[in-house]
Structure 1
Amino acid sequence: MKALISASIAAAVSLVVAFAAVVTMVLVDADADATEMTDGGGGLRGVPEEFRPWILKASKECKHPELTPALLAAQLNQESGFRTGLTSHAHAEGPAQFTPGTWATWGQDADGDDEASPWSIGDAVTAQGRYMCHLLGEAKASGFGGDVRALALAGYNAGWSAVQKYKGIPPYKETQNYVEAILASMPRFKGPGLLEVSGSGTGPDALRKAATRLGTPYAYGGGGPAGPSTGFCDGTNGYLDGRCAATSTVGFDCSSLVQYAFWPDLKLPRTAAAQYGATSDRPVSRQDLQPGDLLFWSHGGSGAIYHVAIYAGDGNVLHAPRTGRTVEVAPLTSAMPSADYFGATRP
């Protein structure tokens, strides 16, 4: 899909006003706290690219409007963190964590490879959608009080018979935490959606891949070529409100997002400083920036580089900013302290 990236930075600090035009608009407020993008109506962000079409398809095929893409995405994140090879202690398998018995009922060959497999993204997400759609129907017909989404999620986790037994969410701590976590994390996966990028080549292709991770949390030391993961705290970084957040957050830091975006076509090293070293022989002036170029910030010299971002066009960058934030598009002028801007390279 080819579309121009355009951006409009609001002059007022209180509102970001979205304009509809022929091209996709990317609007960012003056302090870079809000980013709005269109995605063709999908209303989904922050999920791996390979999951996205299946989530949207599963949501669309359900007659119950409560089965939104964000609900399915939040549930997948809770079940497996979008990992495909996971097996739980209860022998639940794949990204949607189906037990063999439940899979026998709901599994089907959705991706056309002549095999119904809980390890297949297409098969698993399709089965998840069908099962959740059925559970929403059961919840609506039950007459039990409360949010039908919560009842359906409880049925997915504990079995619908448990919901029937207690006429609501069962008093199981695991199930209660499961339902609460999914409903609380849904806003993270709601639209705006993908940043649309024009052109082809190493830079634009990497930018497109990075854009599929908009909304993914920042995790210091987390992430890599395979995708997001938990990180670590080093005594200075990775903390939020006095606690180590990185070890319990699945996400990227600035340089792992860049490494992920360019891999495997270009196997950049892991840290921002090393990425500058690997690309510094191809410097780019600020007025000649192109989508996919790398931008660096430093506390003083190439040995003190602490942040890297990907140029997204029209004066914006796509980056993972810091603990407590998510992957976002922000103005180059305010993404990081302007005095720390060190330069740009073309990978």
Structure 2
Amino acid sequence: MKPRRAIAVFFVLPFFGLVVGLLVIAALAGGLPANQAVRPVVNAAYNAAYVPAAYREWVVKAGAMCPEVTPQLLAAQLEQESGWDPEAKSPVGATGIAQFMPGTWVTWATDGDLNGTADIKSAPDAIMAAARYDCALAAQVRAYVEDGKAQGDIQDLMLAAYNAGPDRVRQYGGIPPYTETQNYVRTIRKLMEKYQQIVPDIAVGTPFGDAVVDFAMRQLGLPYSWGGGDERGPTDGFGAKGAGIYGFDCSGLVIYAVYNASGGQISLPHLSQLQVTMGEPVDRNAMRPGDVIGFDPKRDGDYSHIGIYIGNGQMVHAPKPGDVVKVSNLSESFYANSNWLVRRFG
């Protein structure tokens, strides 16, 4: 990473206010009562559309390493540092997609892709190392704030420490009065806008189905990961199609959206074949946004895929390995020619 280089970031962390405790109701009972309301939440959702496809998985995975280092932050840094070029090399010797100086790489070298080597020119290695470095700075400036030695937003102080060094943050009790450092923070905040999508708050009184759609749509662009996703959000999956991939599979996305839309009251199993047996049966001609659609492509009773209806003949889903959470048309032959089961949970 090149020292004293202006990059920038601002991110409002998503959080979900759950009004009900850990009570889990049986989805077999038919879901929530009509007019069930959800608590308001705020969200600046990560938008992976401008991240090169080869790096999306690594940006998401590294962006879950600590609260202050989000995918948006890393995307902004990587664009600013190298323009996403893993072969980039600056006149002063900064190398790779994250522009580590060789001396700094000795300390932060990371075997991100677990291939047995930590290569400064390997995008997975450098992206994971960049997140480790940022998280360490965040921990350091957080300690300053907790000890009364600095004031300010932890992310802003982390970026200031990245640019000017943590000792300067401590010396000045916050962002140092250097024009370059202050521009650094402002620049990243602006660049972050490219990699995030401000999603309107889900307000109290939002219809349950609309809330299901909103929660699912916030995950657009995250990788498919077999076995990935739970009530809290994306996770690492398992097996050849999920291990080391931070994202959702089709039923994991449904679990997340329904659980959060229900205020934590409906917890579904991680299996599409079971999800389609729960909730209230709905005729496919009477679907509403938020209904869950199971697909049996071989027409043999195996509902191997599931998605969330969003209206206008479309659904949001996690389709298959190598793909991402996205919107698809139900008129596509794979879906149109399958047997359907539609369920409603509230």
Normalising to structure 1: TM-score of the pair?
0.49
Q: Report which structure shows greater RCO (CA 8 Å, sep ≥6).
A: 2
Normalising to structure 2: TM-score of the pair?
0.50
